[in-house]
Structure 1
Amino acid sequence: MKRMFAVVVGAALLGGCAVTPPPSDLTEPLPGAWYAPPLPHQGQAASLTDWWAQLGDPVLADLIAQAQARSASVAAARAQVAAARAALAGADSAAGPQLAAVASASRLQEQGAPLGNAVGAGLQASWALDVWGQNAASVRQASAQQGAANAGWHEARVLVAAETARLYQGHRACRVQLEITRGDQQSRRATADSAGVSERAGLTAPAVSALARASNADAEGRLAQQTSQCEQQLKAMVALTGEAEPALRERLGATSALPDPQRMAERLSVGAVPADVIRQRPDVARAQRELSAAAEGVGVARAALWPSLSLSGSWLRNRFSTSAGDTTFNTWSVGPLTLSLPLTGRGGLNAAADAAQARYEAAGLAYAATLRQAVAEVERSLVALSALQQQQSSNRDAVAGYTRSFDATQARYRVGLANLNELEEARRLKLNADSGAVALQLEQLNTWIGLYVALGGGFDPQVTPEPVRKPS
């Protein structure tokens, strides 16, 4: 026992020589300030977690919740979290002593003894001593993998929310465009009817009347195309949210106006230091945790090349029954203390260590690339928002001017001071300006949504995935 105790103490001291994994946090230089234009008004420091609810559109918030509850990608990410949590629990359990309850029963006859029954019950223990730190590295690796899974779950939720919002705003913009197209078609039809009456009265040339009818037919085609586009978007929203189409159509029919992009601007802020902004992105957190897991994996693979030490023991309560009577006694053991060193198959262990090192290097490059991509996405959003802000003012002036020109040309056409070609040209310019205004507003909304995603969507590494809930 004294020798065994000395071996155990020596093994514990050897634990100080544990295999050291490579660094799990690489230094990737980030810019000290943004090179893109600053956010208009610098926004407002608000929680991105409740950002959708703060926009004042309960329909959008409900649709996002439905889409997340029914999303296959979110469910898959939640399953990965559960698997990572189970792996962590298993690694943590395997790192410590193992204790099991055992029981046995047998019927036997030994030489010189009568036939009897032997039963026993007790405890059996084992402990794989962590001489080189392999078990501890396995626990740290599993913990990092769970952190990466948590970040991946949040990233999936943010992407589903953004997809739902883009589709929702796109459908609303489509309906606004539909109203513009319908109004244009009605105006062209009135002009065509008027030209037809004038032609039959002999006051308008047939070619002029044909131009009016062709213009009306062209408007009817655009109206049908716009209607089809809106219907297809509605079908896509039904597939995304899982809501019945009649109910969704009724909810979306409550309003057709697009929200003011400034409302989003007032609820987003971008910090002056890029590093502070980038830390709140789930993909960056996931890449960093994956790098940590890969680093610990190198330690696990290297430790497998060294000897392993294990200790086992047991305590049993035994009873032996024969026709002559019953005998009860206890047995216990400490040991054996086993030292194991793989002699064959070391080529495979070395290859596994090399593979772990390659995975670590790949994870390091992926982490650095994720950081650079995160900075680029924020800066692209800032550049786009700055340009759109300037376009908005010019677009308002263009819409006002083309509308005034069309109204004047239409008035002149009615009294015979302008021909149909002039009217159609003014109408085309006004239609393009109106459609462009809607497209510009939708682009602004989508860019704000893109900035929300680029800022991480309210990622909090302390928040764990919600339990599975049945969709309502």
Structure 2
Amino acid sequence: MKKSLVSLAVTAALLSGCSLIPEYQRPEAPVAAVYSGGPAETSAVKAADIGWREFFNDPQLQRLVDVALENNRDLRVAALNVEAFQAQYRIQRAELFPAVDANVTGSRQRVPGDLSQTGSPTINSQYGATVGTTAWEIDLFGRLRSLREGALEQFLASEEAQRATQTALVASVANAYLTWRADQAQLQLTRDTLATFQKSYDLTRRSYEVGVASALDLRQAQTSVESTRATLAQYTRLVAQDQNAVVLLLGAGLPADLPQGLDLDASLLAEVPAGLPSDLLQRRPDILQAEHQLKAANANIGAARAAFFPSISLTANAGSLSSDLSGLFKGGSGTWLFQPQINLPIFNAGALKASLDLSKVQKNIFIAQYEQSIQIAFQEVADGLAARATYNEQLDAQRALVTASADYYGLAEKRYRTGVDNYLTLLDAQRLLFSAQQQLISDRLAQLTSEVNLYKALGGGWEERTVSRDNAAQTPRG
């Protein structure tokens, strides 16, 4: 019987060479050949080749990313989803093979005399032991293989979703960390400025007490102090909230071995080449995820087409039957069953046609989603390149403004203390310098987060690997 089942399986495999899945063709990318935000770079190394540890130079940020990758709950759910889709694929793949079961049964039944052939009560016994398969569908037209192919693509899509989740997590941790550090810098600047304003107010108050300064000068100095105190409270609150946001992304508390971070003006990030728009199709996890989902929808069309054709299922077993348990395996007790079944759909009120139409519409939906994911990726990269081209000039101009404002404040203070100018000029210089310093920190934060987002948009942040000086990709370290 085992040889018979193997022969049937081989025969079915030879017959089931037909597939009704449409030939897959990748849709044309609905974007231009070059980025509008800046020139493309043709370096052999792309953003996806540079691991996040190589991109982030700040040791404190590297440690935080390590913790987040180990403890973040969104990433943990994404990994579990991969395992779930893998199990679903294995279940669907198992449908292609016959399920062989062994059954041992036994029954004893008393039959009343008026129902028995002898007119006397009897007891009937039957024992059986069989090995076989039940209702195994022979996949002649590829319905099961189409479903298996769709399940495989869904599994691959879940892997890309996990990569996309990790990329987004790395970027989120970096942006939250940079915001935290920027607000810390703003808090320290506010403290220093408040100390300066308080000193100026104390001098003005003493001048007022001896009749040199006016009451208006005193109140103007006080407004600067109180305004800066309000700003100090604001940034104290923001720093605490920023830390909470970082902890949430980490999925754990701040590590005790957190190293000292670099200054905000230091080289916190490595510059990454942009590459060509076509690189996004091969490196962006969300685009690859959308394409796998499109392939799964394409495979579902094959399953819907196969439903129009006859399906063949097979039930077969062999074993032994006996009225006595002791005679179950004696000679002459052998039994076998061979029961093929053909199911031919004749009338189903258009359900099969509607199912095929639905699978085609779903494929068109996934095509649109795939194209949209490319367009979004293209826009994100173009925006990042446009920001990269302008932020350096903006920061240079802002630094020059801070220097000029500091000179203006120094001159205004000297002129006021010597009685040459009024306090309103000094107050204006103080506020202008403080505002320029605040804006410089904000501009630096915007530049850094823009670079992080560009790195993410180019498909970087997935693997912890480095790139050597000669631009050769090395083995992942993590």
- For the aligned pair, the TM-score class normalised by the smaller chain equals 0.7 to 0.9
In structure 2, the residue matched to 1:464 is none
In structure 2, the residue matched to 1:276 is 279
Question: What is the distance in 1 between the residues matched to 2:344 and 2:42?
Answer: 66
In structure 2, the residue matched to 1:435 is 438
CA separation of 1:452 and 1:332: change in aligned 2, threshold 3 A = farther
1:411 is paired with a residue whose SS is: helix
- Counting matched residue pairs gives 449
In structure 1, the residue matched to 2:419 is 416
- Please tell me whether residue 124 in structure 1 is matched to residue 132 in structure 2: yes
In structure 1, the residue matched to 2:448 is 445
Question: What is the distance in 1 between the residues matched to 2:355 and 2:235?
Answer: 58
- Measured after TM superposition, the shift of residue 9 of structure 1 is 10
Question: What is the distance in 2 between the residues matched to 1:279 and 1:210?
Answer: 64
Question: What is the distance in 2 between the residues matched to 1:348 and 1:233?
Answer: 55
CA separation of 1:41 and 1:367: change in aligned 2, threshold 3 A = closer
Alignment of 1:372-411 (within 5 A): 372-411=375-414
Question: What is the distance in 1 between the residues matched to 2:357 and 2:326?
Answer: 64
- Please tell me whether residue 216 in structure 1 is matched to residue 225 in structure 2: yes
Q: Which moved more, 1:342-351 or 1:372-381?
A: 342-351
Question: What is the distance in 2 between the residues matched to 1:328 and 1:171?
Answer: 84
Question: What is the distance in 2 between the residues matched to 1:41 and 1:295?
Answer: 34
2:386 is paired with a residue whose SS is: helix
In structure 2, the residue matched to 1:33 is 34
Q: Is the 8 A contact 1:24 1:291 kept in 2?
A: no
Runs (5+) with no aligned partner, structure 1: 1-6, 461-472
Q: Is the 8 A contact 2:48 2:460 kept in 1?
A: no
Question: What is the distance in 1 between the residues matched to 2:351 and 2:248?
Answer: 48
CA separation of 1:84 and 1:358: change in aligned 2, threshold 3 A = same
1:37 is paired with a residue whose SS is: coil
- Measured after TM superposition, the shift of residue 257 of structure 1 is 2.7
Q: Which moved more, 1:100-109 or 1:196-205?
A: 100-109
- Measured after TM superposition, the shift of residue 417 of structure 1 is 2.9
CA separation of 1:433 and 1:325: change in aligned 2, threshold 3 A = closer
CA separation of 1:51 and 1:238: change in aligned 2, threshold 3 A = closer
In structure 1, the residue matched to 2:470 is none
- Measured after TM superposition, the shift of residue 352 of structure 1 is 1.9
Q: Give the alignment partner of residue 166 of structure 2, picking from 147, 157, 165.
A: 157
- Measured after TM superposition, the shift of residue 449 of structure 1 is 0.9
Question: What is the distance in 1 between the residues matched to 2:315 and 2:380?
Answer: 56
CA separation of 1:39 and 1:387: change in aligned 2, threshold 3 A = farther
CA separation of 1:190 and 1:330: change in aligned 2, threshold 3 A = farther
Q: Give the alignment partner of residue 313 of structure 1, picking from 309, 312, 316.
A: 316
CA separation of 1:11 and 1:341: change in aligned 2, threshold 3 A = farther
- Please tell me whether residue 333 in structure 1 is matched to residue 336 in structure 2: yes
In structure 2, the residue matched to 1:173 is 182
Q: Is the 8 A contact 2:48 2:459 kept in 1?
A: no
Q: Is the 8 A contact 1:409 1:423 kept in 2?
A: yes
- Measured after TM superposition, the shift of residue 318 of structure 1 is 4.3
Alignment of 1:64-83 (within 5 A): 64-83=65-84
CA separation of 1:154 and 1:49: change in aligned 2, threshold 3 A = farther
CA separation of 1:323 and 1:407: change in aligned 2, threshold 3 A = closer
CA separation of 1:14 and 1:243: change in aligned 2, threshold 3 A = closer
Q: Which moved more, 1:137-146 or 1:65-74?
A: 65-74
Question: What is the distance in 2 between the residues matched to 1:80 and 1:175?
Answer: 38
- Please tell me whether residue 264 in structure 1 is matched to residue 269 in structure 2: yes
Q: Is the 8 A contact 1:114 1:322 kept in 2?
A: no
- Measured after TM superposition, the shift of residue 31 of structure 1 is 2.8
- Please tell me whether residue 50 in structure 1 is matched to residue 54 in structure 2: no
In structure 1, the residue matched to 2:239 is 230
| Aligned Cα root-mean-square deviation (Å) | 3.2
Q: Give the alignment partner of residue 369 of structure 1, picking from 362, 369, 372.
A: 372
Q: Deviations over 1:301-334 (max 9, x none)?
A: 1211221012221121445427999845553535
Q: Is the 8 A contact 1:278 1:375 kept in 2?
A: no
Alignment of 1:272-311 (within 5 A): 273-311=276-314
Q: Which moved more, 1:349-358 or 1:48-57?
A: 48-57
- Please tell me whether residue 192 in structure 1 is matched to residue 201 in structure 2: yes
Q: Structure 1 counterpart of 2:457, which letter?
A: A
Q: Structure 1 counterpart of 2:59, which letter?
A: P
CA separation of 1:152 and 1:191: change in aligned 2, threshold 3 A = same
CA separation of 1:433 and 1:172: change in aligned 2, threshold 3 A = same
CA separation of 1:325 and 1:443: change in aligned 2, threshold 3 A = closer
Question: What is the distance in 1 between the residues matched to 2:59 and 2:451?
Answer: 18
Q: Structure 1 counterpart of 2:132, which letter?
A: Q
- Measured after TM superposition, the shift of residue 458 of structure 1 is 4.6
Q: Structure 2 counterpart of 1:301, which letter?
A: A
Q: Structure 2 counterpart of 1:57, which letter?
A: D
1:374 is paired with a residue whose SS is: helix
CA separation of 1:305 and 1:383: change in aligned 2, threshold 3 A = same
Q: Is the 8 A contact 2:220 2:427 kept in 1?
A: no
Percent identity of equivalent pairs: 26
CA separation of 1:38 and 1:393: change in aligned 2, threshold 3 A = farther
- Measured after TM superposition, the shift of residue 161 of structure 1 is 1.6
Q: Structure 2 counterpart of 1:105, which letter?
A: G
Q: Deviations over 1:38-78 (max 9, x none)?
A: 37997965765632355233332232233344434323322
Q: Is the 8 A contact 1:21 1:295 kept in 2?
A: yes
1:312 is paired with a residue whose SS is: strand
- Please tell me whether residue 201 in structure 1 is matched to residue 204 in structure 2: no
Question: What is the distance in 2 between the residues matched to 1:361 and 1:251?
Answer: 49
Q: Is the 8 A contact 2:72 2:251 kept in 1?
A: no
Q: Which moved more, 1:108-117 or 1:203-212?
A: 108-117
1:203 is paired with a residue whose SS is: coil
Question: What is the distance in 2 between the residues matched to 1:182 and 1:405?
Answer: 21
CA separation of 1:276 and 1:356: change in aligned 2, threshold 3 A = same
Q: Give the alignment partner of residue 145 of structure 2, picking from 116, 136, 139.
A: 136
Q: Is the 8 A contact 2:59 2:261 kept in 1?
A: no
In structure 1, the residue matched to 2:476 is none
- Measured after TM superposition, the shift of residue 340 of structure 1 is 0.4
Q: Deviations over 1:90-145 (max 9, x none)?
A: 11110122222222222257978985754333421253111111111111111111
Q: Is the 8 A contact 2:186 2:438 kept in 1?
A: yes
